[in-house]
Amino acid sequence: MIPLLLQDVHRRDDKYCTYVILWDCGSMSMLRVRWFQSMSAVVFAAALSLAGCSIHKQVVSSTDIQVKGQQQVLWKPDYAYVYSPEQIDLSSQAIFGAAGDLLQWQQKPRRRLRLQAAEIQRHFRVRLASRKSFRNDFATVNNDTYILESAKLPLPLTYSISRWTPLRNGLSGPVIVAFDGHGDCGGECTGKVPERMFQRNGFGRQLVQRGWSVIGVPTAIHKPLSKFHVTFDYPLIWAALATLVVHQATPPSSTPRDLIYLGNAIGGLTAAAASIIDPRSMATVTNGAFFPLEFTRHHYRIKDHTLCHDMRDFASYVPFYALLYPLPLMIQVGEEDGLWMGHGPVKSSDWFSGLPRGATSDETVGAALLLERLWTRTGQDFSLAVHPGGHEDLDVSRADQFLRPLLPGNSKRHTLSR
Ligand SMILES: [Zn+2]
């Protein structure tokens, strides 16, 4: 029994791992323990054994252990993954009261994220290492490579951004800061220049061809930043690094809000986090980054970066996204996205845990309608854009349509400050 318990202690990694010990010292008793109490449980069980009690059963209940054939497959980070005891959620007043109640509700969680971002940034020294410029038939391209140094990194991180400025018919005004998903780099990105978004039919390239200036910024860098992930969520880490470098690369313009954060899949969560922490943000567009957080916490695991989409302080993505109010917000989702409504179970594979069920309409559309209420109550711009594509198929046409009214000289102005 004790070796069994020890084996299970070794496996503990998140708050959902619970095990129950039943023992008999004359009468049957039961203890339910969480991972953080697991060592105490081993000592406790050892003491019971020494006292001559019989341990009848220990039941491990963990969503991280899945039975695949005869083998238990475990998807876990290699450290204790700790959730905040208080999960941030909207208050009833923020939902049903006036806009001022929502603004007031935002203060504490936004300050928390901004402090966390500042704490991450404090660990880094940033220097420009090289700048390469070239021109193609429709844009000037500047690839700037920065070196990010930190005592918490195994090696300095080479971090390259790519700024594309249209040669003709460029729109004056805000610059789009764009993030791509895991698909840009086969899961583990390194900090190299984002490429896929600027390739043929890439969303960044299409935006430039429509006149927008776009800065492609790396995301989905896990391994080198894993020490930071012990404490901070990956989307926030990537957002903190992005804003640090983008601010260095683009001095503020004459308007206080001059950046639009736009992202695809995990890059969408990064874009939202960047928009929350950066006072220069004027709008946010995400694609494939709005799905039931609590559902994925329980059931969705990608090998090697199991919960990299998680925001540990939050009860769901609704309060996370609500921190973007009152700035214009477009949430895009693909009808074919397995995390959007209407999908059944998904089989597991050697890199993916699979899903026991699809997401439900209230977890997806219901959550979006709640956000829509917050925005439209005061006439702010909110759009839930369901497009025919899949998880990482950002719809450029609809993003362009949504963002164009925000250009200088257009009538859309945002009256509420935050
Ligand atoms: Zn990841």
Q: What is the DSSP string of 9-62?
A: HHH--STT-EEEEEEESSSEEEEEEEGGGHHHHHHHHHHHHHTTPEEEEEEEE-
User: What is the per-residue pLDDT for 10?
Assistant: 41
Determine which helix (DSSP H) or strand (DSSP E) holds 134, and give its type and residue range: strand 125-135
Tell me which residue range forms the domain holding 25: 2-62
Q: Residue 307 Cα, ligand 1 centroid: separation in angstroms? A: 7
Task: Please tell me the total count of domains within the chain.
Answer: 2
Which burial class, exposed, middle or buried, applies to 229 when counting CB atoms under 10 A from its CB (0-12, 13-18, 19+)?
Answer: buried
240 and 108 housed in the same domain: yes
Q: How far is the CA of 352 from the centre of ligand 1 (A)?
A: 12
Q: Which of 62, 84, 107 is the last residue of a domain?
A: 62
For ligand 1, the distance from its centroid to the CA atom of residue 211, given in whole angstroms, is 31
Mark whether 237 and 372 lie in a shared domain. yes
User: Do residues 315 and 372 share a domain?
Assistant: yes
Same domain, 58 and 102: no
Q: How far apart are CA 309 and CA 302, in angstroms?
A: 10
Q: What's the gap in Å between 19 CA and the centre of ligand 1?
A: 28
- Ligand 1 center to residue 184 CA distance, Å? 12
HSE at residue 328, side-chain half, CA atoms within 13 A, is 23
Going from the Cα of 35 to the center of ligand 1, the distance in angstroms, rounded, reads 23
The DSSP secondary-structure symbol of 316 reads: S
3-state secondary structure of 214: strand
Per-position DSSP letters for 340-352, written without gaps between them = SBT---B---SSB
CATH of the domain at 157: 3.40.50.1820
Please give the chain's pLDDT, 418 residues, in tens: 444 444 444 444 433 445 566 777 877 676 655 544 556 667 777 888 888 887 765 544 444 444 343 333 445 555 566 777 789 999 999 999 999 999 999 999 999 999 999 999 999 999 999 999 999 999 999 999 999 999 999 899 999 999 999 999 999 999 999 999 999 999 999 999 999 999 999 999 999 999 999 999 999 999 999 889 988 999 999 999 999 999 999 999 889 999 999 999 999 999 999 999 999 999 999 999 999 999 998 888 887 888 899 999 999 999 999 999 999 999 999 999 999 998 889 888 777 878 889 999 999 999 999 999 999 999 999 999 999 999 999 999 999 999 999 999 886 554 444 4
Phi and psi at 271, nearest 5°, equal: -60, -45
* Nearest by Cα to 14 from 85, 73, 72, 62: 62
Residue 97 maps to a domain:
yes
What is the torsional sign of CA 292, 242, 276, 203?
Answer: negative
**pLDDT value of position 171:** 95
Question: Does 417 reside within a domain?
Answer: no
416 C-alpha to center of ligand 1: Å?
35
pLDDT for the residue 281: 98
- Looking only at the bridges linking them, the beta strands covering 329-334 and 281-287 are parallel
pLDDT of residue 56: 62
- In the reported structure, the alpha carbon of residue 254 is separated from the centroid of ligand 1 by a whole-number distance in angstroms of 36
Please indicate, yes or no, whether residues 6 and 135 belong to a single structural domain of this protein.
no
Residue 49 alpha carbon to ligand 1 centre in Å: 43
Q: What is the largest CA-CA distance in the chain?
A: 85
> What strands, in cross-sheet order, belong to the sheet with 259-264?
125-135, 139-149, 157-166, 214-217, 175-179, 259-264, 281-287, 329-334, 382-387
- Indicate whether 231 belongs to any domain: yes
Q: State the distance from the centre of ligand 1 to the C-alpha of 335, rounded, in angstroms.
A: 22
DSSP 8-class letter at 133: E
Cα 332 to ligand 1 centroid, rounded to whole Å: 20
Per DSSP, helices labelled H in 51-98 are: 92-96
Q: Cα of 255 to ligand 1 centre, how many Å?
A: 34
Tell me, what's the pLDDT at 230?
Answer: 85
pLDDT at site 32: 59
In a domain, 262, yes or no: yes
Measured in Å, residue 175 CA sits from the centre of ligand 1 at: 26
Domain boundary among 44, 62, 80: 62
How many whole angstroms from 124 Cα to the centroid of ligand 1? 21
Whether residues 7 and 136 fall in one domain: no
Instruction: Answer yes or no: do 35 and 98 share one domain.
Output: no
Is residue 307 in some structural domain?
Answer: yes
What pLDDT score does 15 carry?
37
- Ligand 1 centroid distance, CA of 220 (Å): 5
DSSP labels, 140-171: EEEEEEEEEE-TTSSSPEEEEEEEEEESSSPP
Q: Give which of 281, 270, 272, 259 is closest to 218, Cα–Cα.
A: 270
34 C-alpha to ligand 1 centroid (Å): 26
The answer to whether residues 100 and 221 belong to one domain is yes
Distance 234 CA to ligand 1 centre (A): 8
Distance 191 CA to ligand 1 centre (A): 13
Residue 416 lies in a domain: no
- In contact, 245 and 159? CB cutoff 8 Å: yes
Same domain, 311 and 228: yes
Report the distance separating Cα 14 and Cα 398, nearest Å.
Answer: 38
1 CA distance to ligand 1 centroid (A)? Answer: 36
**Of 62, 82, 111, which marks where a domain is finished?**
62
Task: Clarify whether residues 258 and 352 are in a common domain.
Answer: yes
Kindly give the distance from the C-alpha atom of residue 308 to the centroid of ligand 1, in angstroms, as a whole number. 5
In a domain, 80, yes or no: no
For β-strands 259-264 and 175-179, DSSP reports them as parallel
d(CA 225, CA 218): 13
Whether 38 and 124 map to the same domain: the answer is no
Give dist(CA 302, CA 76) in Å, integer: 9
Say whether both 234 and 132 belong to one domain: yes
Whether 85 is in a domain gets the answer no
Give distance in angstroms: CA of 400 to centre of ligand 1.
27
CA 332, 336, 339, 343: dihedral to nearest 10 degrees?
140
